[in-house]
Amino acid sequence: MAQINFVPGRGRRARQRRRRLAAALALVLLCAPPVFLAAENYLAGENRRLREHNAPLREMARALDEKLAPVRKARRQSLVLRKNLTVLQNLQRAAALRAQLLRDLANRNPGGVSCASLSVDAEFMRISGAARSGEALAAWLAQLGEAAWFGEPLLKKEGRGFTLSVRHTAHNAPGKTE
């Protein structure tokens, strides 16, 4: 079947467009590498210039770091000393607390209760011992209950023996009032 071209000059214009496109692509392919090389050289030169410009600044920063090294070392030592001071203060408070606990245990014992062991940690005091009777143990607990540090008792009784755990946190420690 024969094709009829109803628009005169259509094929000629399409060939001209293809030739122009090919010429434009050839021009881009010829011009692009030199443009890219020129841009790369420019950027490399700028980087080199900036490195040269920043070299004295880097040297000044290094000199300042050397001067600040003793300050940083002193700051680290200060932090260590502060932590040690806190530990010592806590130990001192704990020693005062233990002394108060022992004083109260000795002064508040109505008799009939003997303590075999005592352990004190940061939050709890544990007392193990024996009681002559349940009434003597109850009277002793009532007297201990009047102490400022006494809180949240937990009593485990086994025959005449007993184990008492008492919370003595900061809010009910001796000398602490809110």
Query: By mean pLDDT, which of 10-14, 28-32, 36-40 is the weakest?
Result: 10-14
Residue tagged 């233990």 (tokens): 98
- pLDDT band for 6, please (50, 70, 90 cuts): low
Rg (CA), the chain: 45
Q: What is the mean pLDDT of residues 26-30?
A: 93
- Which residues have CB under 8 Å from 47's CB, separation 6+? none
pTM over 0.75: no
Q: How far apart are CA 73 and CA 147, in angstroms?
A: 47
What does pLDDT average to over the chain? 83
Burial class from Cβ neighbours inside 10 Å (0-12, 13-18, 19+) for residue 14 reads exposed
Fold designation for 108-172: Gyrase A; domain 2 (3.30.1360)
- Which residues have CB under 8 Å from 149's CB, separation 6+? 97, 100, 101, 104, 166, 168, 172, 173, 174
| Residue 133 structure tokens | 């009777």
- Which residues have CB under 8 Å from 102's CB, separation 6+? 118
Note every long-range contact of 14-21, with CB atoms under 8 Å and residues 24 or more positions apart, other chains counting.
none
pLDDT tens-digit series, residues 162-171: 998 888 754 4
Q: How far apart are CA 105 and CA 118, in angstroms?
A: 10
pLDDT tens-digit series, residues 89-142: 877 777 777 777 777 777 777 778 888 888 877 778 888 889 888 888 888 888
Q: How far apart are CA 171 and CA 54, in angstroms?
A: 59
Residue boundaries of the structural domains of the chain? 108-172
Three-class SS of residue 164?
Answer: strand
- Quote the percentage of the chain above a pLDDT of 90: 37
- pLDDT band for 1, please (50, 70, 90 cuts): low
- Which residues have CB under 8 Å from 147's CB, separation 6+? 104, 108
